[in-house]
Chains A and B, each alone.
Chain A
Amino acid sequence: MINGISINYYLLLSAVLFIIGAVGVMARRNSIIIFMCIELMLNAVNLLLVAFSTLHNDASGQVFVFFIMAVAAAEVAVGLAILSMIYRNVKSIDTDLLSNLKN
C-alpha cells in the first residue's frame, strides 16, 4: 500500500499508459505524435519504477528515474533536431515517406 492506494492500481495505470504509447507508435504516422508516444512509454516505466521504489522503501529506483529523465531530455533534444532536419528535406513528417533506406 502506498498512501492508501494498492500497488495494483499503479501497475494498471502504468500498463495502460505503456500500451497507449505502443499503439500510438504503431498506428500513427505523424513523427511528432510517435515521438510523444515514445515519451509516454518511457514515463509509464518511470511510474512503475517509482511505485516499486516506494513500496520497497528503496531509493535506487528513484535514482534510476532521475537518470532516465535526464537521458530522455537529451534524447528529445536530439530527436527533435532530427525531425526538423527531416522536415527541411522532405517537407513532411509523415513516416511512410521515409523509405529511402529501402533498396
Chain B
Amino acid sequence: MIKLIGLVPLFPLIGFLINGFFGKKISKGLSGIIASVSILASFILSVLIFVELNGSTEKSYIVNLFSWINSGTLVVPFELLVDPLSALFLLIITGIGFLIHVYSIGYMHDDEGFSRFFTYLNLFVFFMLLLVLGNNYLIMFVGWEGVGLCSYLLIGFWFKNTAYNNAARKAFVMNRIGDLGFLLGIILIFITFSSISYNEVFLKAGTVSTGRITCIALLLFVGAMGKSAQLPLYTWLPDAMAGPTPVSALIHAATMVTAGIYMIVRSNIFYSISEVASETVAIVGVITALFAATIGLFQNDIKKILAYSTVSQLGLMFLGLGVGAYSSSVFHVTTHAFFKALLFLGAGSVIHAMGGEQDIRKMGGLSSNIKITFVTMLIGTIAISGLPPFSGFFSKDEILAHAYEHSPVLWFFGQVTSMLTAFYMFRLLFLTFYGKFRGTHEQEHHLHESPASMTFPLIVLAILSVVGGLLGLPEFWHMPNWMSNNLDTVILRKNPSTMPHDTEWMLMGIAVLAAIATIYFAYIVYMQKKTLPLKENDKMPGFQKLVYNKYYVDELYNAVITKPLDVLSVAFHKFFDIQIIDGIVNGVGSAVKGIGSGVRLLQTGNIGFYVISMVIGIVFIVLVTFLI
C-alpha cells in the first residue's frame, strides 16, 4: 500500500484539473462532490498507509516516482518519503481537508465562484501534500511555494473587493521575504552537503562546523517565520482573514501555517546541533505568542481574534521546537488543527447565521438560536483554553513542561500566554453566545442553524478536540505517550526529560488553576458586569488603545519600510528611469534618425553623381592599396 503513496497527492490534482477545466460546465453540486471525493480518496489511502506503517518495523519508506533534475552535481530524484511524521501530517491534511471541503459545500453554496473555490482548494491540498511528502528540500520548496500561491488566490477569492486584494498581496509579499530565507537555506545546504535529500543531509550534519549549521538553521527559520506567521513577519495572517472562512480554517489555522513547524521538525538535527538557532526559535516563538495574545484581547472581529490566537499558538509551538520538544510541538500542531479548525468553522457558522456580520459587538445571545454551533464552539474554546481532559490541555502542558525544564522564564511567559488565550477565547464566547442580541432586528429574524453539511464537520472536529489529547498522555502518568513514541525515529537527537514528577504535577496544577481563574475573571467581566467592548470612536485608556490598534505594527512597517521604499522608487523613477534609461533609449533613436536624414541627401537619383562617387571611391581604394 505504501508503494501507492504517489496516488495521495494525485487525487486532489485530478480534482483540481476536473474542476479547473470543466467547473463552469458542471453543476455546483457535482463540482463540490468531485472536490470532496478526491480528498476523501486521499484520506482513505492515507489511513491505510498510516496503519500499514504503524504495523511495520521499518519506519521510513522512500518511493521514487521519477528522476526530476539531473544536472551536473545536482541530482534531484522525485522521491516521496513516508515516515511517522509525514504520515501524521497526511492524516491531518486530508482528514481536516475533507471535513472543510464538506463544510464549504454548505458555506459557499450561494457564491458565484463555487467551482473556482473548490479548484483552488484542491490545488492547495495537492501542494500541501507535496510539501510534507517530499524526500528532499526542493520538493518541499515546490509545495511551499504552491501553498503560498493558493493562499494568495484564496485570500483574494472575492477579488472585486480592493481591501481583500490588498490583503492577498500583503500575504504574498510577506511570504516572499520568508521564502527567500528558505531558498538561501536550501542553497547553503546544497553547498555544504552537496545533496538536498533528507537522509544524506542529516547523516552528514554532524561532520560540518557548528557555525555553518547555525547559518542553515537560521535561514530555514526565516522561511518558517514567513509561512508560520512569526514576529516580525506575522502581520499578513490577521489580514488573511479576508478570505472565505473555510479557507481561514484549512489554510490559515490547520495546515499551511504549520508548514514552518513541519520543516523545523524535519530538520530537527540542525536545531539540536546549533544552540544559537534553537534559542532564537524559542525566543521568537515566546515573544510572538505573548505579543499576539495581547493583541487578541481587545479585537472585535470574530475572525481576527481567532487569527491572533493562531499566531499566538504557533508561537507556542515554536517555543516547543526551540526547547527541543519536537514531538510535543507536533502534538500541539495536531490538537491545534482540531480545535482551531473547529473554532474557525464555528465562527463561519456564526457569520453565516448573522448574514455576514463579523463584529462580536453586534452579536450576543446566539446560544439558543444556533445550538450545535454553540456547543461545538464551547468545546473548542475549552480545548484551546487548556482545561483537562480536553486535547489542548495535554499538548500545551507538554510544551510548557519542556519550556520549564529549559528555562523557567520561557515557561512563565508561555503560561501567561495561555492565560491570555483562555481570557480572550471566553470573552469571544460570552460576547457571542450570551447576553442580549445586539444586532439589527432583521438579523435577529434571520438567525438560523447552518445546514447539515456545515454542522457535520463541526461535530466531528468537536469529538476530535475532546479526545485528541489521548494521542499524547503525559509520560509520568505511566501511560503510553503515542505521539512521542511514534515520532521516535524522526527525532534524531533526543534529550530525555529528567524533571521530577512532583514538579510536573505542580506545573500542571498551576496551569489548570490559572486557566480556571482566568475564565472566572472573564465570566465576571463579561457575564456579571456585562461589560461591552468600546465603540469605534470611544476614548480608550492608553494601553488598551495601543493593543486595540495592534501596537501600530502595520503603521510602523508602513512608515519604516513601505514609505521609504515608495519615496526611493519614485526618486529612482524620476532620476534613473526617466533621465538615464529613457535618455539612452531615446538618444539611440534620435541619433539614428539624425544620421539618416543627413545621409539621405546623398541619394540624389542623379546617375552622374553616382558614377563620380563610384570613381572617386575606386581611386581612393586603389591609392590606399598601392601607395600605403
Q: Which residues of A contact B (CB under 8 A)?
A: 22, 25-27, 29, 95-96, 98-103
Contacts and interface: CB of A to CB of B under 8 A. Distances in A.
Interface in B589-621: 603-608, 611-612, 615
Contacts of A25: 611
Nearest to A101: B605
User: Which A-B residue pairs are the 3 nearest by beta carbons?
Assistant: A102-B605, A99-B605, A95-B607
Nearest to A102: B605
Nearest to B619: A22
B605 A95 contact: no
Contacts of B606: 96, 99
Contacts of B607: 95, 98
Contacts of B611: 25-26
Contacts of A101: 605
A29 B604 CA distance: 16
Contact of B612 (A26, A96, A100): A26
Interface of B: 603-608, 611-612, 615
Given A22-B615, A103-B605, 5 more contacts: A26-B608, A26-B612, A96-B606, A98-B607, A99-B606
Nearest to A25: B611
A22 B603 CA distance: 21
Contact of A95 (B604, B608, B612, B615): B608
B615 A29 contact: no
A102 B604 contact: yes
Contacts of B608: 26-27, 29, 95-96
* Residue in A26, A27, A96, A103 with the greatest tally of chain B CB atoms within 10 Å: A26
A98 B605 CA distance: 8
Given A26-B608, A29-B608, A96-B608, A102 B603 contact: yes
A99 B610 CA distance: 12
A40 to B, nearest CB: 14
Nearest to B609: A26
B240 to A, nearest CB: 66
A22 B612 CA distance: 9
22 contacts: A22-B615, A25-B611, A26-B608, A26-B611, A26-B612, A26-B615, A27-B608, A29-B608, A95-B607, A95-B608, A96-B606, A96-B608, A98-B607, A99-B604, A99-B605, A99-B606, A100-B605, A101-B605, A102-B603, A102-B604, A102-B605, A103-B605
Contacts of B605: 99-103
Nearest to A98: B607
A61 B615 CA distance: 26
Nearest to A29: B608
Nearest to B605: A102
A100 B604 CA distance: 11
B605 to A, nearest CB: 3
Contacts of A27: 608
A40 B604 CA distance: 27
A15 to B, nearest CB: 12
A82 to B, nearest CB: 13
Contacts of A22: 615
Contacts of A99: 604-606
B343 to A, nearest CB: 81
A95 B604 CA distance: 13
B606 to A, nearest CB: 6
Contacts of B615: 22, 26
Contacts of A102: 603-605
A96 B615 CA distance: 18
A100 B608 CA distance: 14
A24 to B, nearest CB: 10
* Residue in B603, B605, B607 with the greatest tally of chain A CB atoms within 10 Å: B607
* Residue in B603, B605, B615 with the greatest tally of chain A CB atoms within 10 Å: B605
Contacts of A96: 606, 608
A102 B601 CA distance: 11
A78 B175 CA distance: 79
Nearest to B604: A102
Nearest to A31: B607
A31 to B, nearest CB: 9
A33 B444 CA distance: 111
A29 to B, nearest CB: 7
A56 B606 CA distance: 43
A21 B603 CA distance: 24
B618 to A, nearest CB: 9
Nearest to A22: B615
A27 B607 CA distance: 11
A99 B615 CA distance: 20
Contacts of A26: 608, 611-612, 615
A2 to B, nearest CB: 25
